[in-house]
Chain A
Amino acid sequence: MNKISNFRRNRCSAANLALGSIAVAACVAATPVFAAWEPAKPVEFIVPAGTGGGADQMARLIQGIVIKHKLMKEPLIVVNKSGGAGAEGFLDVKAAKGDPYKIVITLSNLFTTPMATGVPFNWKDMTPVSMMALDQFVLWTNAEAPYKTAREYIAAVKAAGPNKFRMGGTGSKQEDQILTVGLEKATGTKFIYIPFKGGGEVAVQLVGKHIDSTVNNPIEAVAQWRAGKLVAQCVFDEQRMPYKAKITATQSWNDVPTCKEAGVPTSYQMLRGIFMPAGVSKDQLEFYVSLLKKVRETQDWKDFMENGAFNQTSMSGAEFTKWLEGAEATHHELMKEAGFLAK
């Protein structure tokens, strides 16, 4: 590798002498591209969740964007390894130390699965590549229920007493339940938490009034919201969502108050990030960081972000590592308080 780049540099300096300033610009631009590492065979893109879910959708979108905009010579192949709440996928990446032909998309199960099940892996067993976005959570209620604000709803839950109102969510001891416990702690309420297999199913159960509320991600419930079946009470973030285009007849995502404004001081976002196995070279890491940056710059990506009302925070490198440390500590704290840690 070194030899080749040295050779290129030499050739460029020769060209500089001969052709002057135009060639200088060309060489400056060309050198990093030619010298950098590039995949020489197809790359496996692991989704530690089932087909059709949020992580899977994002992975397949990235795969589609890479193909459509020809961002990579070799194809990206999406593989679902959802066993054991995603542990299967993460263990696979952990075992592939030094393999640059594997990347994995994460959701909160990156933190929660090892904590809840005791399966031995940690994000530190992998190389963080970049944060693609943060997924929001919204408190939803049925449109035919009388609650106009989150405050009213919580007051009703409190008045009814513990174990009367039913909160539906995806999976057990994962993000939806953690958030529910956080909400209970912050407001002194107690829900019956009912775990379902997928977010879309949860939204429909709410429309059918089999449960009283959910903490669905925006993309999971937006269709029912637009149809006037559900009410978005508040978003579990410090700031409101920035998207001002009208989604329903009267409301945009930006019109949904934060839960803090609504008197429910709870906040939680879910990481949508990309990792590689440990022990990869700096060149290899750089390749994926810049590939994902190009993905985020496409219009398809921006449309997807807006459709799903994502929090478009993205980061990589030391900043991302620091964020991960903080998030891990937060999850540990939340899981511990909720009594979800594996014994």
Chain B
Amino acid sequence: MEEIGALFHGFAVVLTPMNMLLMMVGIVLGVLIGVLPGLGGANGVAILLPLTFTMSPTSAIIMLSCIYWGALFGGAITSILFNIPGEPWSVATTFDGYPMAQQGRAGEALAAAFTSSFVGALVAVVMITFLAPLVAKFALEFGPPEFFAVYLLTFCSFIGMGKGSPFKILASMALGFALAAVGMDTVTGQLRLTFGWSELMRGFDFLIAVIGLFGIGEILLSMEEGLAFSGKTARISPKVVLETWKKLPQYWLTYIRSSLIGIWMGITPGGATPASFMGYGIAKKMSRDGAKFGTGQLEGVIAPETAAHAAGTSALLPMLALGIPGSPTAAVLLGGLLIWGLQPGPLLFVEQKDFVWGLIASMYLGNLAGLIVVLTTVPLFAAILRIPFSIIAPIIIVICAIGAYTVHNAMLDIWFMLLFGVVGYLFKKLDYPLAPMVLALVLGDKAEDAFRQSMLLSQGEVSIMWSNPLVGTITSLALILLLWPLISKALKIIRPGREGRVFTG
């Protein structure tokens, strides 16, 4: 096994006191970045990138990638405690994580989220270690039609995630698509829906919408319902981690499924955010307790976190092997590689063995270090919920405002955040689901670009969606998922004696 030897060589490169120190610094910084909404991993890495120009490339990438791991871990914390996703890929974690916190199970949810993140990352790193060249080739198969098919599959796997009426889901999703369309259109190079107002040119950033819809909306609700966090009676003990671990093995199938979804989305490069949504959607469809998802199911935390971390980790593979970044953070790291004089691409694995295997070794160690750091802080974070609402709520609003401002350094975004907060509140009061809108906002733009690029390629023929086995399979799968409620109904009619499995669709 040539890879094993190379990997141990990598460990030897990484295991110097200086590199270990940088690793811990990176993890702690990353967790902080992940906790602060708005200051995403991409921003964090971009801000710190110039500081690394004086280091050796290996040390620099170790520190920066550890910031990335830290941010992936940290994103879950605020999602679970306050329903505020610190990072886009933690939105799906709020669906069950926040209800768990409200029931006083914050510690359990956090421990499960962190452990799942670690498992997802570990599976992805093992895959990178042994299958890198093979998998990198697979990413080349992805042209615009394939990308569109993947986005379509994400949307379809998420159909029926709200419990409300299908029309409310549709309305929410349509609003998301409309918001995603604001700003510059890549395909025509024209501004859309800005009404001549230059502040709208940058469009609606997903993060601002999410901070407002979830964070501010939730605080408005709490204010109405008695100025207290429902989770404040949380029992806090360090043993909670061990108790949670006992429960996790029974969800092995969810882990496998989410890891595979995550790896696939990371490589293709769909990214961690769609992976987390898809992981959640599929788990809900497949699980025996699917109907209870959204009420505080442990599995509903495990599925998106595993998928997000697997995707976040495997997103580094296309970056290294092909020079295409699978995530915004990977894009910034890619810029860093070029500045350090390293050329990402097919030859990196041949010419820069120390660097590549050092990085892969640091993925193992960084994630392990990250897991230890965040697990020890579980009781600490869970204790935050005991602080009186009147103290913590203003702090959250300030942090949200800073986060919203940081995304584009624009004052207007803070107003948008507050506006989204009111929208989030109204949605909840009127029982409209938020998730379809968020999903449409984050993927609508990309899906639209991919679809129109495909139409340009085929000169308007929709048949391009079935033009090769790969894209054909994904598209057909998406359509089957979309129409599943109808299909299962039809099956029941055809075979009336047997009770068909009930899918919430």
Closest to B332 in A: A51
Q: How far is it, in angstroms, between the C-alpha of A177 and the C-alpha of B332 when the chains are bound?
A: 25
Q: How far is it, in angstroms, between the C-alpha of A146 and the C-alpha of B28 when the chains are bound?
A: 52
By the criterion CB–CB under 8 Å, are B183 and A84 in contact? yes
By the criterion CB–CB under 8 Å, are A205 and B323 in contact? no
19 further A-B pairs in the complex, CB-CB below 8 A; given A79-B409, A171-B189, A208-B143: A51-B42, A51-B328, A52-B332, A57-B338, A60-B335, A84-B183, A88-B201, A117-B190, A119-B198, A193-B456, A195-B186, A195-B187, A200-B325, A208-B141, A219-B338, A222-B345, A223-B323, A224-B322, A303-B341
B331 within 8 A of A: yes
What are 10 A-B pairs at a CB distance below 8 A? A51-B42, A61-B339, A68-B53, A172-B186, A196-B186, A204-B139, A208-B141, A223-B345, A224-B323, A307-B341
The smallest C-beta distance from B443 to any residue of chain A, in angstroms, reads 14
A210 within 8 A of B: yes
Chain A contacts of B348 at CB under 8 A? Answer: 223
Q: How far is it, in angstroms, between the C-alpha of A57 and the C-alpha of B46 when the chains are bound?
A: 10
A194 within 8 A of B: yes
By the criterion CB–CB under 8 Å, are A174 and B339 in contact? no
* Contact-size category for A: 35 or more
Q: How far is it, in angstroms, between the C-alpha of A184 and the C-alpha of B265 when the chains are bound?
A: 37
By the criterion CB–CB under 8 Å, are A88 and B345 in contact? no
How many B residues, CB 8 Å from partner?
Answer: 52
By the criterion CB–CB under 8 Å, are B345 and A227 in contact? yes
Closest to A77 in B: B47
By the criterion CB–CB under 8 Å, are A195 and B453 in contact? yes
B448 within 8 A of A: no
Q: How far is it, in angstroms, between the C-alpha of A340 and the C-alpha of B191 when the chains are bound?
A: 13
Q: How far is it, in angstroms, between the C-alpha of A91 and the C-alpha of B198 when the chains are bound?
A: 8
A64 within 8 A of B: yes
Chain B contacts of A63 at CB under 8 A? Answer: 50
Q: How far is it, in angstroms, between the C-alpha of A229 and the C-alpha of B321 when the chains are bound?
A: 13
By the criterion CB–CB under 8 Å, are A304 and B339 in contact? yes
By the criterion CB–CB under 8 Å, are B198 and A60 in contact? no
Give chain B interface residues in 190-206, CB to chain A under 8 Å.
Answer: 190-191, 194, 198, 201-203
The smallest C-beta distance from A256 to any residue of chain B, in angstroms, reads 17
By the criterion CB–CB under 8 Å, are A117 and B183 in contact? no
A57 and B189 contact, Cβ closer than 8 Å, known pairs A68-B53, A82-B202, A223-B347 = no
The smallest C-beta distance from A286 to any residue of chain B, in angstroms, reads 25
Q: How far is it, in angstroms, between the C-alpha of A67 and the C-alpha of B55 when the chains are bound?
A: 13
B215 within 8 A of A: no
B144 within 8 A of A: yes
Q: How far is it, in angstroms, between the C-alpha of A196 and the C-alpha of B341 when the chains are bound?
A: 26
Give chain A interface residues in 55-86, CB to chain B under 8 Å.
Answer: 56-57, 60-61, 63-65, 67-68, 78-85
Q: How far is it, in angstroms, between the C-alpha of A177 and the C-alpha of B338 when the chains are bound?
A: 25
Best-buried of A68, A116, A200 by chain B (most CB within 10 Å): A200
By the criterion CB–CB under 8 Å, are B323 and A67 in contact? no
Closest to A61 in B: B339
B292 within 8 A of A: no
Closest to B336 in A: A60
B250 within 8 A of A: no
Q: How far is it, in angstroms, between the C-alpha of A229 and the C-alpha of B449 when the chains are bound?
A: 26
- Neighbour of A87 across the interface among B187, B201, B328, CB < 8 A: B201
Closest to A221 in B: B323
Closest to A83 in B: B202
Q: Interface code A257-292, partner B: CB below 8 Å = 1, 0 otherwise?
A: 000000000000000000000000000000000000
By the criterion CB–CB under 8 Å, are A64 and B53 in contact? yes
By the criterion CB–CB under 8 Å, are B201 and A197 in contact? no
By the criterion CB–CB under 8 Å, are B184 and A85 in contact? yes
A224 and B346 contact, Cβ closer than 8 Å, known pairs A84-B201, A195-B453, A307-B338 = yes
- Neighbour of B140 across the interface among A82, A116, A208, A307, CB < 8 A: A208
The smallest C-beta distance from A129 to any residue of chain B, in angstroms, reads 20
